[in-house]
Amino acid sequence: MRIDAATRANLELFRTLSGDRKGSLLAAIDRTLSAAGSRLLARRLASPLCDAAEITRRQDSIAVFQDDANLRQNIRKSLTQAPDVMRAVSRLALDRGGPRDMDAVRRGLASARDIHVMGLPLAGELAEIGAALGALPGDLADELAKALGEELPLLKRDGGFVRENYRADLDEAWALRDESRRVVAALRARYAEETGVKSLKIRHNNMLGYFVEVTAANAPALTENYDSPFIHRQTMANAMRFTTAELADLEQQIAAAGDKAVRIELEVFETLAEKISDNAVAIHAGAEALAALDVACALADLAEAENHVRPVVDDSLTFAITGGRHPVVEQALQKSGESFIANGCDLGPPNDDGDTDKGRLWLVTGPNMAGKSTFLRQNALIAILAQAGAFVPAEAAHLGVVDAVFSRVGAADDLARGRSTFMVEMVETAAILNQAGARALVILDEIGRGTATFDGLSIAWAAIEHLHETNGCRGLFATHYHELTALAARLTRIHNATMAVKDWKGEVVFLHEVVAGAADRSYGIQVAKLAGLPAPVIARAREVLDRLEANDRARGPKAVIDDLPLFAAAAKAEDKEDAALQALDELDPDALSPREAQEALYRLKALRRDGEA
């Protein structure tokens, strides 16, 4: 499914218009437990399928886990122990990994083995998942478990990550290193006793290596005898540092033992990294399988918790949703103790005109704050969720595959590119009218509101006719231009719908229900009153509105539409006018006789007259 950047932003698939993840569709449905699962879910939302059979396979997997809650919970429990294996393997392949990445591979393989032992039903994509998990190298998991210790450093160069008794030569190097440390402690005690300086210390740094350190006051005790073994190395403000031949020899032994141990551990690391690299394809497939399993379990958990249903997806042009809901808005209302008002939508081909290759176009009217934008968005989101392979927030849904979703909702500018709000609106509308085909789903909200009334009405009018006659797509077109609703009488696939409202003691009550018919007014002044505009402004607005409506009441929308030809007829007339101009261009006045010139003039006049007709 094609979803352009403007549509992704308008539908808030991954980020809200303010840039936050919270409040987006992904945040509302993401119940995955692993980073890989969350990434896979985002990829599926970004690129929904157009293959009905593949969509059905994904749905089968979700249905299995929805029906078997115990299996779902056991797998999700195992998934909590699975780290991000794919990222760990990638870091190791780029020689940027460390011991903790190897341990991530080990734990991932162990989790996959535990899940595979549980046994996955052979349904949908679960058969492929089970095969991928079964193909994982179990001997590699055992080898990593034997090699890696309990507490692992971040960097391999630090050493100390190999388990004891894994390599005999490494154990010997460790023993020598640790024994040397005990020798250093014994040597410090002997020097303290011989010199009588109980505070004598043996320290180490990268510049001097090992050295004896005493306070300046105790320094004479180390230098008063001419045959003293202590050799002066450095004078500090409050201390003096010495070395001895015995200490220098011991330092060489310790350094050799430590370097040997680190060298052996690096050899072990490289060997294990090579084995992981040799099995990278199988490990990557297994990690993808775990991610797919995470997504299937998460979507099943979501469907059960939020009462989502399995949609029917086929290759028809059907678009029938019963009791559809907006997944993000519904969850927000639940937190405040309110319930979402569900609405249905049928955009499939009409059954009575025999034209089954084009879908319906709904004109949705009604006041602001009544829920038009929510209704438009929820149907687009349901289509995206369904073709991503998820269950959808509705009582029932039957969708023919949508190959592209186009959305023009809200108002925004792009000042950096020199585009005003209206210019952005027109650019996005142009993209829709130039690209949408019969299988596309288009939602348009308030086209033409950013300019003068007659300009906007004209643009909206022409856009609707183009969508109906040329694009032939399924679509929802929300508008405040009530004149447009008269098009339903002449365009067979236009259907009028409106947001139900109720006047209660002079106040407007939004019912958030979509019903057939057209709105008689916009209730804009009532909404302005709810927003807190001063009472004098509201009173003056009512007075101006009454006068404008009185002047316009004599000429209704039907009179306007009757004066204009349909989009197809207008295009035909324009083609005839173009034919007259082309014929004129083809004439050569210098080569015509008077009689031929007269005949040519008559022909041009006839073409012009036909164009005007």
Q: Would the pLDDT of 177 be above 80?
A: no
- Half-sphere exposure of residue 35: CA atoms within 13 angstroms, side-chain side: 8
pLDDT band at residue 411, thresholds of 50, 70 and 90?
low
Give the Cα separation of 274 and 84 in Å (integer).
19
Give the Cα separation of 559 and 252 in Å (integer).
104
pTM (predicted TM-score): 0.77
Give the Cα separation of 164 and 148 in Å (integer).
9
Region 439-450 average pLDDT? 86
**What pLDDT does 267 receive?**
92
pLDDT in tens, 561-608: 555 555 555 445 555 556 667 777 777 787 888 888 888 888 877 776
Per the structure block, which two tokens stand in for 128?
């492929």
pLDDT in tens, 362-387: 999 887 777 888 999 999 999 999 99
pLDDT band at residue 415, thresholds of 50, 70 and 90?
low
Alpha helices by DSSP H, listed for 229-358, are: 245-278, 280-306, 327-335
Q: Would the pLDDT of 123 be above 60?
A: yes
Q: Would the pLDDT of 610 be above 90?
A: no
**What pLDDT does 425 receive?**
81
Give the Cα separation of 391 and 307 in Å (integer).
9
Domains of the chain by start residue, with CATH? 31-137+279-306 (1.10.1420.10), 168-262 (1.10.1420.10), 312-521 (3.40.50.300), 569-612 (no CATH)
pLDDT band at residue 157, thresholds of 50, 70 and 90?
confident
Please tell me which residue, 515 or 454, carries the higher pLDDT value: 515
pLDDT in tens, 452-480: 777 888 888 899 999 999 999 999 999 88
pLDDT in tens, 326-368: 999 999 999 888 999 999 999 988 865 545 678 889 999 887 7
Please tell me which residue, 604 or 397, carries the higher pLDDT value: 397
Please tell me which residue, 587 or 396, carries the higher pLDDT value: 396
Residue 420 identity (one-letter amino acid): S
User: Residue 442: CB partners within 8 Å, gap ≥ 6?
Assistant: 405, 406, 407, 432, 436, 467, 471, 473, 474, 475, 476, 477
Give the Cα separation of 210 and 208 in Å (integer).
6
- Host H or E run for residue 74: helix 69-79
Map tokens 């089968």 to a residue. 60
**What pLDDT does 574 receive?**
53
182-206 exposure pattern, b = at least 16 Cβ within 10 A, e = fewer: eebeebbeebbeebebeebebeeee
Q: Would the pLDDT of 418 be above 70?
A: no
pLDDT band at residue 543, thresholds of 50, 70 and 90?
confident
Give the Cα separation of 216 and 194 in Å (integer).
18
CA distances from 273 to 96, 152, 277, 290 (A): 11, 16, 6, 22
| pLDDT over 70, % of the chain | 90
Map tokens 């031949």 to a residue. 245
Dihedral sign, Cα of residue 43, residue 48, residue 51, residue 57: positive
Region 509-526 average pLDDT? 80
**What pLDDT does 363 receive?**
93
Query: Nearest-CA neighbor of 228 among 212, 217, 215, 239?
Result: 212
Residue 19 has a CB neighbour count (10 Å cut-off) of: 6
Give the Cα separation of 91 and 102 in Å (integer).
10
Q: Would the pLDDT of 324 be above 90?
A: yes
Residue 494 in 3-state DSSP?
strand
pLDDT band at residue 613, thresholds of 50, 70 and 90?
very low
Please tell me which residue, 7 or 425, carries the higher pLDDT value: 7
The dihedral region occupied by 34, where left means phi > 0, alpha psi between -120 and 50, and beta the remainder, is beta
Q: Would the pLDDT of 413 be above 60?
A: no
Give the Cα separation of 283 and 89 in Å (integer).
8
Q: By mean pLDDT, which of 222-236, 276-290, 444-458 is the weakest?
A: 444-458
Concatenated DSSP letters for 522-588? --HHHHHHHHT--HHHHHHHHHHHHHHHHHHTTS-HHHHHHTS--HHHHHHHHHHHHHHHHHHHH--
The dihedral region occupied by 76, where left means phi > 0, alpha psi between -120 and 50, and beta the remainder, is alpha
Q: Would the pLDDT of 550 be above 90?
A: no
107-134 exposure pattern, b = at least 16 Cβ within 10 A, e = fewer: bbbbbbbbbbeeebeeebbbebbbebbe
pLDDT in tens, 303-318: 999 999 999 999 999 9
Give the Cα separation of 550 and 499 in Å (integer).
25
pLDDT in tens, 26-49: 999 999 999 999 999 999 999 999
Give the Cα separation of 181 and 530 in Å (integer).
80
Query: Across all residues in the chain, what is the average pLDDT?
Result: 85
